[in-house]
Amino acid sequence: MAVTLTDRLSDWEGTQAGSASMVDRKLIVQTIEKLAEASIGIGTLLAREALTLGRAVGKTPEGDTQKAIDVQAEEVLLSALANSPVGVVGSEEQDDPIVLDTSRPLVVVTDPLDGSDNVDINAPVGLIFSIYRTLESPLESLLQPGSNQLAAGVVIYGPMTLMLLTVGQGTDLYALSPVDQVYSLAEEQMQIPEHSSTFSINSSNYRYWSLGYQAYYKDLLAGADSERGRNFNTRWLGALVGEALRIFRRGGVYIYPGDSRDGYTHGRLRLVYEANPIAMLVKEAGGRTTDGINDILSMNPRGLHQRVPLIFGSTHEVDIVGSYDGLPTGSRSPLFADRSLFLSA
């Protein structure tokens, strides 16, 4: 008999292990169940209206194109959280905190529909979220380091609807039944393979990268002809949730560095509601997440939409990426112009 998400959360709620109190656990479970409900509603919205709602209707607070389906996905999520323990929501779609009820004890940060540029080609899109305790003010509640997360998850919409979820005791994978619309456990205590030969990076930005990232990329392309000693495969889905799922299942590394373009110096992805939830899931599955050098979960956010470089995946490869980081962007040096860090002169 299948173990459902409700079964799994009920078992966790009744345990004593970990830092969350019994009261916290009950409230966290209630919130995750509401987020699961929202994810099913968003999936239904995508299945019925993705093509018609894929048009642009405006801009996000950070200037990205906002589609009608982004707005409606957020509305579905907020509706689900209206009657929940969540008092404040931080969303990619809004400049300021969304205050539901300041007396409630929990906070949710979210990207309601990651990868919405993919909806018209039926490629992976998804929901990203994490849960925190409420602090003194709505904004302070949203700007907590990732190490304070109580739970985090991503939902990926594709041939199947899948959810990666952690409550701080490992990362589990759930699959949504299309018949009864119930999430059931598909794989528990996932472990990201420590070594892999797959990497994910948008190579069209090569000319804007620092010399270190250019050298790293050249080494991967050289494959067995470099001192890495093996060939590599590249993948790029254009949606963070899809990249994350592949890495959890097959290993590898995802790389989105900062670069020399205007607005990309400090990276492209958002620390609060994209990088931190992914980082908690990855940590609980034995992987690593950094900005190239620093642990993502140790960072103190300065703003709801703060951007960061993001590198995550198999520990060994993330460490190797870090060994290249720090070389200047846009400069040239004879040391790195036509050779890699791994190749001898």
pLDDT in tens, 16-31: 655 567 669 999 999 9
pLDDT at position 18 is 57
Q: Write down all domains in the chain, each with its CATH number in brackets.
A: 5-187 (3.30.540.10), 198-337 (3.40.190.80)
Residue 128 has pLDDT above 70, yes or no: yes
Give first-to-last CA distance, the chain, whole Å: 61
pLDDT at position 325 is 84
- Contact yes or no for 38/80 (Cβ under 8 A): yes
| Total Cβ atoms within 10 A of residue 190 | 19
pLDDT at position 57 is 76
Residue 329 has pLDDT above 80, yes or no: no
pLDDT at position 64 is 73
Cα(89)–Cα(96) distance, integer angstroms: 9
pLDDT 10s digits, 248-274:
999 999 999 999 999 999 999 999 999
**Beta strand pairing call for 288-290 and 310-313:** antiparallel
Tokens of 9: 């959360």
% pLDDT > 90, the chain: 81
pLDDT at position 50 is 81
Q: What is the mean pLDDT of the chain?
A: 91
Torsion of CA 169, 171, 174, 42, to 10 degrees: 100
State phi, psi for 256 to the nearest 5 degrees.
-130, 85
pLDDT at position 344 is 39
Burial letters for 196-234: b for 16+ Cβ neighbours within 10 Å, e otherwise? Answer: bbbbbbeeebeebbbbbbbbbbbbbebeeebebeeebee
Cα(201)–Cα(239) distance, integer angstroms: 11
pLDDT 10s digits, 265-299:
999 999 999 999 999 999 999 999 999 999 999 99
Residue 337 — pLDDT band, cuts 50, 70, 90? very low
Residue 342 has pLDDT above 70, yes or no: no
Burial of 331: CB neighbours in 10 Å, binned 0-12, 13-18, 19+? exposed
pLDDT at position 327 is 61
pTM of the model: 0.91
pLDDT at position 343 is 44
Burial of 159: CB neighbours in 10 Å, binned 0-12, 13-18, 19+? exposed
pLDDT at position 194 is 87
**228 or 112, which is more confident:** 112
Residue 82 has pLDDT above 80, yes or no: yes
pLDDT 10s digits, 209-251:
999 999 999 999 999 998 889 999 999 999 999 999 999 999 9
Residue pointed to by tokens 């995946």 = 313
Task: Identify the weakest region by mean pLDDT among 2-16, 61-75, 164-178.
Answer: 61-75
Task: Provide Rg for the chain, Cα atoms.
Answer: 20
